[in-house]
Structure 1
Amino acid sequence: MKETIINWLCRIEKRETVPNEIVAFNFGLFEQDKGYCVYLTGSKQYDATDDDWACNVDFEPKEKYIEFSSEECAEMTWEDFQISVKEIVTEYIGNAHSESIFRIGERVVTIGFDDGELEKIQWKQKTDSDLQLLASSGLEEKKTSPFRKGVKWLKQLLGME
């Protein structure tokens, strides 16, 4: 599941241009007959006191949906599925480069089931010491774009390289 979500987010980052007016993203979740589905939308509005802001869809990536119908996911409770997706998305955004569509400006990122409450996703900003440690680890190559560095780092983190 982790690899699938990270690859999906990497494809979105690579292929999409998000309008500057987008101030919030929502990772929506819903149950299907044999599993779950995750989708991504963006909005020009955000209201911390009213989750209906997420109904204002001002951005939709071409690859909006990702389905999970494996036995592993089908047997998860909805709570466990949300926790797992939230952890993966939080890690992805926390490790993404500073020019990531999710980290530009003060964009808010939330997650939740369509018929439930949204949770705000918080991530730890990379500190100078984190970046120095990352650079000295050899995980990032020089003369590589920030996007490619982030993808390479995530693939190494997942053991895909």
Structure 2
Amino acid sequence: MNARFKDLKITIKKWITDIDNTDELSSDIRALCFNLYEPYGIEMIGSSWFDEEDEEWACDEDFKPTQRVCPNFNVPDSFTWEEVLEIVISILKELINEVPGLKLFKVEHIAAGFVDRNLIIIK
């Protein structure tokens, strides 16, 4: 991972870790969704239900962290949305493996995607 994306990974890791340390994740949350949008940004929500065939689960915001939007998510607009999605999916997969003890990563399902586009199931 080049230096720019290493910095982005550090930013995302700090954001997720801060949420994990400050927000109470209810035991009924089954899935997390990392929503990407343009100009490039990312937010997290949690849902009490999940259906791989019905992405509407990601619209039910049963968990809304205090710091819902990742600060300092600096991605140049020269990147396509497909590139940004690929980078974020890669970072999230790495973080799930690197810090499996986070309460947030203990949910059954984790997905990411751009708003109004298909979700990618990560876990």
Q: Please report the TM-score for the alignment, with normalisation by the length of structure 1.
A: 0.67
Structure 1: segments with no counterpart, 5+ residues:
123-161
Aligned residues: 116
Aligned-partner Cα distance in 1 for 2:93–2:73: 22
State the Cα RMSD in Å.
1.6
Alignment of 1:11-90 (within 5 A): 11-32=18-39, 36-66=40-70, 70=74, 72-90=75-93
d(CA) in 1 for partners of 2:36, 2:73: 13
Corresponding residue SS for 1:102: helix
Q: Structure 1 residues 69 and 5 mapped into 2: Cα distance closer, same or farther (>3 Å)?
A: closer
Deviation at 1:101, TM superposition (A): 2.0
Query: 2: distance between equivalents of 1:6 and 1:99?
Result: 11
Query: Does residue 105 of structure 2 align to residue 116 of structure 1?
Result: no
- Which residue, out of 1, 11, 18, partners 1:4? 11
Larger RCO: 1 or 2 (CA < 8 Å, sep 6+): 2
The percent identity for this pair of structures is 29
* Alpha-carbon shift at residue 20 of structure 1 (Å): 0.2
Please say which structure displays the higher CA radius of gyration.
1
Matched to 1:114, the amino acid is V
Unaligned runs of 5+ in 2: 1-7
1-side partners of 2:65 and 2:103: how far apart? 15
